[in-house]
A and B are shown apart, each in its own frame.
Chain A
Amino acid sequence: MNTSLSWIRRYVPDLDVTAREYADAMTLSGTKVENYEELDRDLSNIVVGEVLSCEPHPNSDHLHICMVNVGAEEPLQIVCGAPNVAAGQKVPVVLEGGRVAGSRDGEKTEGGIVIKAGKLRGVESHGMICSIEELGSTREMYPEAPEYGIYVFPEDTEVGADAIGLLGLHDAIIEYEITSNRVDCYSVIGIAREAAATFGKKFNEPEIKVTGNDEKASDYISVDVVDTDLCPRFTARVVKNVKIGPSPKWMQRCLASNGIRPINNVVDITNYVMEEYGQPMHSYDYDTISGHKIIVKRAKDGDVFTTLDGQERKLDHDVIMINDAEKPVGIGGIMGGENSMITDDVTTVLFEAACFNGTNIRLSSKRIGLQTDASQKFDKGLDPNTAELAVNRACELMEEFGAGEVVGGIVDVYPEKRLPSEVPFEPEKINGLLGTSFTEEEMIGYFEAVDLKYDKEKNVIKVPTWRQDVLRTCDLAEEVARFSGYDKIPTTLPTGAATTGKLQFDMRVLSVARDIAEECGFSQAYCYSFESRKAFDRLTLDENDPLRNAIEISNPLGEDFSIMRTTPLNGILTSLGTNYNRRNKSVRLYETGNIYLPKALPLTELPDERMQFTLGMYGDGDFFEMKGVVELLLMKLGMNQKTQYTTDTLKNYMHPGRQAQIIYDGVRIGEIGEVHPLVRKNYEIGERAIIAVIDIPSILGFATFDRKYHGIARFPAVTRDISMVVPRTVTAYEIEEILAQRGGKILESYRLFDIYEGEHIMKGYKSMAYSLVFRHPDKTMEESEITSAMNKILNGLATIGAELRK
């Protein structure tokens, strides 16, 4: 929404503020000014001059030498290149040292261009005669300006007067961001009312004079609204003997300042009233209305209608149509039809100001694919009481401009009248909500400034129908807050019972995971939650892999963002690929983020959102380093049982011989492995890459931050080393199971310190060496106890084919 400051001043004449003051104060009272442009910012020292003489320049085929009277004692000699310059003209003249906003092709220069005296092809020139473009404006706003050349004032313009002021350029265009609850502020009057209240000035709402001859509009036209749910009010008036012509300059400027091109008096009046009251209007050529009858009803599915822009529009039964006795003549609230539009030959005009269901207009306009200035006003949901004001205002302006003879009376179909509402006045509640101590009088003062009238008898505030946002006490509190100023409200902190600030347990677990990852060299990545189905192919998942059961977004931003991820791997691998492509060496990334597993598809209830801790790296580091990160995390989370790494389930996306499922206390908590070379290729990672994923919900039951002190061993430990040859297929886990089971309580720890395959070892076998530490918590051990434990271990190892090396 835009207005010029001068248009606001039409209703708030005492508003003597700069554009900046206006913008700041309006923003702080709730009418947010997004931007403003002062039209005279780069203009100075420009007066009306009279061209006394105009001779061709001797050294040029297009320049003229003019003597210009600017009201000073001596006329000025000015060289002018405009094709239309002529003696006798009254023109805008920039005096020496003055500024214009830009060049004649309309290109503006920040800060303006200073005009100095100088010579043009050897002839002195003291100033410049300007075009409308040089004044920073356009022919849109000043249609009377020539296409090329200088602006010319009417003959009776006073010489020496301020040309900027005469052109109305001591003005500013204000651009507002209106919030959706303030439908009334999508109008100049609505904003002016706010401005008056903001600055404590008087608000002069236009008084609409009664117009019309002694004929009756109802003798000209009948209106039947069939679907009143979609059209709660329809008003119509008639103007005959219409004389199409230009509208007055002040109206053209007002429209232009809102970005609306002036066309002719009838169109300009409907547009002006639309901006002024926020009420779209429509004008029909009365003689094209068959049967002089208007019927407002739903279209039929499949109907086609040609709007006045010449486009065919497909309709359906939720679109409200304006029809005459035979045919549709307009899409209600959106656009009129070609068949009833005003032409220059029109003699009788039918003005419509109606109210349509806002939601229906919004949805219809979307379905039809046609958004207009009118539909954008209607879709906010207008006050039906404004319709009558608007149609009367239009007729008044027609009469005032001498544009036609207004027929008396109005045809008004308004079955359910909307009445002002009442909100109880509860000043203590308002102060209680705001934390303030305003008096009742102060509050009432703020209300009445915006026509919220206090009814003392009933102790209520009467809310006019245009204020659809004021429904209860909190809404009144807002009025008090914004007109007193949010900055006037004190700054306190909540009192009341203390509460415990804390993170949830799972967030603490994640925080530990982040710390561990970073300590181990992994940097944190953020990946998208949605991705393409192609991710499953890149990960080489089988056709029936359950991970392919992904939730689909019904209106995605393209295929790349079309499903909710069921695995975090695509994200981390894509990021590793990005880094590899950018030649970053030895990259380690981790991510904490959800995957989304549907319980059933299509979704009938919320899916299982599972937080995943995902690690990925290429370059330095191998599987076992990654395993170390996992173990470090589990250790830090107090998960002290031995983790199992099983290989009975194999995943396509990992190297078949270098992957494992991570099992803790019988529960699968994640997986780890080297990325399969084919998958790596799909992600364009040129080096071996290792990944690990921990399913956070699976470990929450095991993780703990409780710690207990177990004492420090007081008795000496005894170390025994075992070196053995075992079949290659025997895993460290199998050996360690035997060590742990058979070593008994006195086996404090064991550690693999050597593993070897190759020369001196039989083919199909490997050599493994463990260092075992025995210790008794309460005494120094006897040699015999250790021997006995060692024998048990050795017997056990024999069962899996281990042979001791001597």
Chain B
Amino acid sequence: MSDIEQKVKEIQDAAVSAIMGADGLDKLNEVRVAFLGKKGSLTAVLKSMKNVDPEDRPKVGKWVNDARAEIEERMTEMKNKLDAEKMARELEKEKIDVTLPPKMKFIGHRHPNTIALEEVERIFIGMGYEVIEGPEIEYDDYNFTKLNIPANHPAKDEQDTFYITKDILLRTQTSPVQARVMEQGKLPIRMISPGRVFRSDEVDATHSPSFHQIEGLVIDKNITFADLKGTLDVFAKELFGPETKTKFRPHHFPFTEPSAEVDVSCFKCGGKGCRFCKGSGWIEILGCGMVHPHVLEMCGIDPNEYTGFAFGVGLERIALLKYEIDDMRLLYENDVRFLRQF
């Protein structure tokens, strides 16, 4: 091995050793200057080329270049390492206490009635129901007569209904929308109609003179009571959970026949009986039935061709049950400490 080769090797070793010893980027830079800079020791070897036998110059050039490549590679490695260390130190300094309180955007809250309503709408829209609204101030004719509640029916007693004139009243139920939609004659019908209704009840923990119902109506050929059962079963399971069972009890409504009241298995105790369901295991949630043929006739639908079912749910009842609200008055006070819980 010639002296030059030996020298280059020594420079390379010295450089690598200096690189390994560099403890910062500036030190590394000093190493670069000392070995690879214009006045660096390896550069000096190149500069001394003129003293080398021209025949040997390519060989010397290769030794130098190999050494430079090696040094540069080591330097890059070292630089990457030092960069990473530097960033790690900086990041370490920026460490935060992630358990400090969050900065929350101040957002508002939907009323539990609306949350429950949207839930119900979601379920029925998914089953192909259109959501249709009707007037809150209504003709007696739609609120009663067309629903098979003729003049002088006890349900029309003044103590239940708010009247404006003899013929115009505050609707006591969302059912008049049934008649309005059927009269339009567009069949089949699958609709729900949520809305505000009014009854002359004094305000207390379970009563309000104004509350909300959701009416449902399906009219088509071959609609059966079994379909009504199936539909409300799906509804109850969607609303209260897949384990929910439904129980249909005979009842009477003037505008449906047969009629039923529907209980759902108590979602608190699963039907075993608890304070929530007053020990019965069941909670009454709605009334329903097959649309009375006379109602169909009054709305211009042939009951021999079409049948249908209808149901009515109390929105507040659902909201109170589902969100375990113990006093209906809370729903109309609009205290933000109440609303913010939803």
**Which residue numbers of A lie inside 8 Å of B, CB to CB?**
27-30, 32, 179-182, 359, 362-363, 379, 432-436, 469, 472-475, 477-478, 481-482, 486-487, 489-504, 507, 514, 517-530, 551-557, 561, 564, 575, 578-579, 582, 584, 587-590, 593-594, 596, 602-604, 606-607, 609
Closest A residue to B220 by CB, please name it.
Answer: A496
16 interchain pairs (CB within 8 A)? A179-B251, A359-B152, A433-B224, A433-B290, A434-B258, A475-B257, A492-B224, A496-B220, A501-B129, A501-B130, A521-B108, A555-B162, A555-B200, A564-B137, A588-B108, A606-B139
Known: A501-B124, A523-B340, A524-B111. A603 touches B164 (CB 8 A): yes
Q: Taking the complex as formed, is B230 at the interface, i.e. its CB lies under 8 A from any CB of chain A?
A: yes
Known: A521-B108, A578-B334. A500 touches B128 (CB 8 A): yes
Known: A487-B248, A578-B334. A606 touches B293 (CB 8 A): no
**Contact among A497, A502, A604 for B125, CB-based, below 8 A:** A502
- Is A491's CB under 8 angstroms from B226's CB? yes
Q: Taking the complex as formed, is B181 at the interface, i.e. its CB lies under 8 A from any CB of chain A?
A: no
**Contact among A30, A491, A521 for B233, CB-based, below 8 A:** A491
**Contact among B210, B225, B293, B340 for A530, CB-based, below 8 A:** B210
Q: Distance (Å) between the CB of A176 and the closest chain B CB? A: 13
**Contact among A500, A503, A579 for B121, CB-based, below 8 A:** A503
Known: A486-B250, A520-B108, A526-B332. A494 touches B223 (CB 8 A): yes
Task: Report how far A557 CA is from B209 CA in the complex, Å.
Answer: 8
**Contact among A27, A363, A474, A514 for B293, CB-based, below 8 A:** A474
Known: A32-B249, A557-B200. A609 touches B136 (CB 8 A): yes
Q: Taking the complex as formed, is B131 at the interface, i.e. its CB lies under 8 A from any CB of chain A?
A: yes
Task: Report how far A507 CA is from B133 CA in the complex, Å.
Answer: 9
- Is A182's CB under 8 angstroms from B224's CB? no
Q: Distance (Å) between the CB of A351 and the closest chain B CB? A: 29
Closest A residue to B250 by CB, please name it.
Answer: A30
Q: Taking the complex as formed, is B154 at the interface, i.e. its CB lies under 8 A from any CB of chain A?
A: yes
Q: Taking the complex as formed, is B336 at the interface, i.e. its CB lies under 8 A from any CB of chain A?
A: yes
Q: Distance (Å) between the CB of A528 and the closest chain B CB? A: 6
Q: Taking the complex as formed, is B109 at the interface, i.e. its CB lies under 8 A from any CB of chain A?
A: yes
- Is A575's CB under 8 angstroms from B109's CB? no
Residues of A within 8 A of B130 (CB): 499-502, 504
Task: Report how far A472 CA is from B303 CA in the complex, Å.
Answer: 12
- Is A432's CB under 8 angstroms from B292's CB? no
Q: Taking the complex as formed, is B307 at the interface, i.e. its CB lies under 8 A from any CB of chain A?
A: yes
Task: Report how far A481 CA is from B331 CA in the complex, Å.
Answer: 38
Task: Report how far A486 CA is from B289 CA in the complex, Å.
Answer: 12
**Contact among B152, B165, B259 for A603, CB-based, below 8 A:** B165
Q: Taking the complex as formed, is B300 at the interface, i.e. its CB lies under 8 A from any CB of chain A?
A: no
Known: A363-B152, A435-B224, A553-B170. A474 touches B292 (CB 8 A): yes
Per-residue A-contact encoding for B137-170, CB less than 8 Å = 1, 0 else: 1110000000000001011001000111100101
Q: Taking the complex as formed, is B127 at the interface, i.e. its CB lies under 8 A from any CB of chain A?
A: yes
> Which 8 A-B pairs rank lowest in CB-CB distance, beginning with the nearest?
A435-B226, A435-B224, A30-B250, A179-B252, A501-B125, A478-B258, A575-B334, A525-B334
Q: Distance (Å) between the CB of A606 and the closest chain B CB? A: 6
Residues of A within 8 A of B220 (CB): 494, 496-497
Residues of A within 8 A of B336 (CB): 523, 579, 584, 587, 589
Per-residue A-contact encoding for B243-272, CB less than 8 Å = 1, 0 else: 000011111101001111000000000000
- Is A578's CB under 8 angstroms from B335's CB? yes
Task: Report how far A111 CA is from B117 CA in the complex, Å.
Answer: 43
Q: Taking the complex as formed, is B333 at the interface, i.e. its CB lies under 8 A from any CB of chain A?
A: yes
Residues of A within 8 A of B234 (CB): 493
Residues of A within 8 A of B230 (CB): 490-494
Q: Distance (Å) between the CB of B47 and the closest chain A CB? A: 51
- Is A579's CB under 8 angstroms from B226's CB? no
Q: Taking the complex as formed, is B43 at the interface, i.e. its CB lies under 8 A from any CB of chain A?
A: no
Task: Report how far A432 CA is from B307 CA in the complex, Å.
Answer: 9
Task: Report how far A390 CA is from B157 CA in the complex, Å.
Answer: 30
Known: A179-B252, A474-B293. A555 touches B222 (CB 8 A): no
Task: Report how far A555 CA is from B209 CA in the complex, Å.
Answer: 12
Q: Distance (Å) between the CB of A538 and the closest chain B CB? A: 17
Known: A491-B230, A527-B334. A497 touches B188 (CB 8 A): yes
Residues of A within 8 A of B331 (CB): 526
Task: Report how far A7 CA is from B230 CA in the complex, Å.
Answer: 39
Q: Which of B109, B133, B250 has the most CB of A within 10 A?
A: B250
Q: Distance (Å) between the CB of A508 and the closest chain B CB? A: 10
- Is B249's CB under 8 angstroms from A584's CB? no
Task: Report how far A362 CA is from B254 CA in the complex, Å.
Answer: 19
Closest B residue to A564 by CB, please name it.
Answer: B137
Residues of B within 8 A of A520 (CB): 107-108
- Is B188's CB under 8 angstroms from A496's CB? yes
Closest B residue to A490 by CB, please name it.
Answer: B226
Q: Which of A182, A490, A492, A521 has the most CB of B within 10 A?
A: A492
- Is B165's CB under 8 angstroms from A554's CB? yes
Task: Report how far A587 CA is from B247 CA in the complex, Å.
Answer: 44
Task: Report how far A411 CA is from B234 CA in the complex, Å.
Answer: 60
Q: Taking the complex as formed, is B229 at the interface, i.e. its CB lies under 8 A from any CB of chain A?
A: yes
Q: Distance (Å) between the CB of A495 and the closest chain B CB? A: 7
Task: Report how far A496 CA is from B234 CA in the complex, Å.
Answer: 18
- Is B136's CB under 8 angstroms from A501's CB? no
Residues of A within 8 A of B168 (CB): 603, 606
Residues of B within 8 A of A507 (CB): 131, 133
Residues of A within 8 A of B22 (CB): none
Residues of A within 8 A of B26 (CB): none
**Contact among A359, A486, A503 for B260, CB-based, below 8 A:** A486
Per-residue A-contact encoding for B52-84, CB less than 8 Å = 1, 0 else: 000000000000000000000000000000000
Q: Distance (Å) between the CB of B80 and the closest chain A CB? A: 38
Task: Report how far A496 CA is from B189 CA in the complex, Å.
Answer: 11
Q: Which of A32, A486, A530 has the most CB of B within 10 A?
A: A486
Q: Distance (Å) between the CB of A604 and the closest chain B CB? A: 8
Closest A residue to B122 by CB, please name it.
Answer: A501
- Is A555's CB under 8 angstroms from B334's CB? no
Residues of B within 8 A of A472 (CB): 293
Per-residue A-contact encoding for B272-294, CB less than 8 Å = 1, 0 else: 00000000000000000010110
- Is A609's CB under 8 angstroms from B290's CB? no
Given A474-B258, A518-B109, list of 13 further CB < 8 A pairs? A179-B252, A482-B258, A494-B230, A498-B128, A504-B130, A524-B110, A526-B111, A530-B198, A555-B163, A579-B334, A602-B165, A603-B137, A609-B136
- Is A432's CB under 8 angstroms from B131's CB? no
**Contact among A482, A491, A525, A529 for B250, CB-based, below 8 A:** A482
- Is B137's CB under 8 angstroms from A609's CB? yes
Residues of A within 8 A of B190 (CB): 494, 499, 501
Task: Report how far A489 CA is from B164 CA in the complex, Å.
Answer: 43
Known: A181-B252, A609-B136. A524 touches B222 (CB 8 A): no
Closest B residue to A607 by CB, please name it.
Answer: B137
Closest B residue to A507 by CB, please name it.
Answer: B131
Residues of A within 8 A of B27 (CB): none
Closest A residue to B115 by CB, please name it.
Answer: A524
Residues of B within 8 A of A503 (CB): 121, 125, 131
Task: Report how far A482 CA is from B250 CA in the complex, Å.
Answer: 6
Residues of B within 8 A of A553 (CB): 162-164, 170
Known: A477-B258, A523-B336, A526-B113. A501 touches B252 (CB 8 A): no
Please report which residues of chain B, range 200-234, place their CB below 8 angstroms from some CB of chain A when the two chains form the complex. 200-202, 209-210, 218, 220-227, 229-231, 233-234
